[in-house]
Amino acid sequence: MKSYMVTIELGEFTEEFMSLIPLQRQQISILMQSGRLTTYAVSMDRSTLWITMNAENEQEIESLITAMPLHKYLHISSVQDLMFHERAVPQTRVNFPSFSLN
């Protein structure tokens, strides 16, 4: 599986758009738990969405996005193959020392 950076232009925030947000969040959660989606970020002006995804190819990316509740408001600008993708570990995590069985 390859990693991709997907840039999406968001459509107008209508009442229908807003009503679909809870379903979209559920779908995003499912994709994150499955490892298909690794990051999901929206610009402050709500015009752009950036997603990093794991998939076999670009067609699978398009298929996953088309299956999202907000798909008719999502316009893919670009899909780029990533050489690597690193994420910072959230600071809320507590790292416990390794235990030794000696």
pLDDT in tens, 38-86: 999 999 999 999 999 999 999 999 999 999 999 999 999 999 999 877 7
Instruction: Look at residue 25 and tell me if it is in a domain.
Output: yes
Contact status, residue 76 vs residue 6, Cβ threshold 8 Å: yes
Instruction: Look at residue 98 and tell me if it is in a domain.
Output: no
pLDDT at 90 over 90: no
Mean pLDDT (the chain, rounded): 89
Q: What is the pLDDT of residue 84?
A: 75
In one-letter notation, the amino acid at residue 86 is E
pLDDT at 6 over 70: yes
Does residue 23 come out as left (phi exceeding 0), alpha (psi in the -120 to 50 range) or beta?
A: alpha
Domains identified in the chain, total number: 1
The CATH number of the domain holding residue 13 is 3.30.70.1060
Instruction: Look at residue 93 and tell me if it is in a domain.
Output: no
Q: Tell me the C-alpha to C-alpha distance, in Å, between residue 52 and each of 38, 96, 99.
A: 5, 29, 34
Q: What is the pLDDT of residue 10?
A: 95
Which two tokens mark 22?
A: 């809870």
Residue-range definition of the domain harbouring residue 37: 2-81
